Amino acid sequence: MMELALPDTPHPLPWQEAPAAVLAGLRGVLTDIDDTLTREGRIEPQALEAIGRLHAAGWPVIAVTGRPAGWSEPGLRSWPVAAIVAENGGVLLRRQGRSTVTYQYTVDDRQRAERFARLQACATQVLQQVPHARLALDSPGRHTDIAIDHSEHHHLDRAGQEAVLAVMRSHGLTATVSSIHINGWLGEHDKWSGAQWAVQAVLNRPLEPGRWIYVGDSTNDEVMFRRLPASVGVANIAASLPRLLHRPAWITQAERGGGFAEVAERLLRARTAG
């Protein structure tokens, strides 16, 4: 297997400059969902087509998202993805047969119930202490985390976001900011551990960082940019770059689903050429 030797630069390079020899050695795609595949909550047609082409060519595509399990299930049923890791690594959704979706959690039912109660107490304090804070509208579908809306249906400025993060962390939560929500959860899991879990569970082999590429758009993707040498930000990540210590290796020309389609096109060409 070719070792990835990518430039260490403070700014992502254009995706079109990614070495074809490196891309030819990749075997799977991990991707964020919101504002990477979607626009205003709906998957963009070019992204869905790109996932279909990757799937048909034998590329496993696994989505790793901060969205709740309940929101993710329809996507798993209708998109040609191998699995979806929801709630920033807290829940793994897999297909079982044609019509059944199974849910797996990082902890047992008793621990999950205890954590859920603590999360609701934290959410109550956030709403009491942070002016203009609102729960995300997808909150009823959340099993292992809480989410405060800052850009999807309700605006919360940077000071408000920092105040929410402070309350969450005072309750012992891990807290991150996505392109639309502030997510908080209890436990050591994150997108990286969730991705490892999914690859092992679905493909029955460990996740080899040099064999997978990650596509994302926001600060809650930073752990993936740090762990995977081959990582891409779709163009709308530009707004988040100043807040990232670990940035993607490359950046696409197009935003959101169009950027993901750019990534898929080059991966498919590289595999064919190889």
Residue 144 pLDDT exceeds 80:
yes
Q: Which helix (H) or strand (E) holds 181?
A: strand 181-185
User: Which residues is 64 bridged to in the sheet?
Assistant: 85
For the chain, domain boundaries = 24-106+189-273, 109-185
Tens-place pLDDT, residues 11-69: 899 999 999 999 999 999 999 999 999 999 999 999 999 999 999 999 999 999 999 99
In this prediction, residue 2 has a pLDDT band, given cuts at 50, 70 and 90, of very low
In this prediction, residue 7 has a pLDDT band, given cuts at 50, 70 and 90, of very low
Enter the tokens of residue 110. Answer: 């008793």
Q: What is the pLDDT of residue 1?
A: 37
State percent of the chain over pLDDT 90. 92
> What average pLDDT does this structure show over 181-195?
97
Tens-place pLDDT, residues 192-235: 999 999 999 999 999 999 999 999 999 999 999 999 999 999 99
Cα separation, 32 vs 216, whole angstroms = 5
Q: What is the pLDDT of residue 5?
A: 47
Q: What is the pLDDT of residue 3?
A: 44
Cβ contact 32:256 at 8 Å = no
Which residues does 242 contact at the CB level (< 8 Å), separation at least 6? none
- Amino acid letter at 47? A
Q: What is the pLDDT of residue 136?
A: 98
Instruction: Specify the CATH number of the domain 109-185.
Output: 3.90.1070.10
Which residues does 41 contact at the CB level (< 8 Å), separation at least 6? 34, 152
> What average pLDDT does this structure show over 168-173?
98
Question: Assign residue 132 a region: left if phi > 0, alpha if psi is -120 to 50, beta otherwise?
Answer: left
Angle between helices 45-56 and 256-273 (to 10 degrees): 20
Burial level of 124, CB count in 10 A (0-12/13-18/19+)?
exposed
Instruction: Please determine whether the domains at 24-106+189-273 and 109-185 fall in the same fold group of CATH.
Output: no
**Mean per-residue pLDDT of the chain:** 94
| Residue 193 CB coordination number (10 Å) | 18
Beta strands at 91-96 and 83-86: parallel, antiparallel or unpaired: antiparallel
Fold assignment, 24-106+189-273: Rossmann fold (3.40.50)
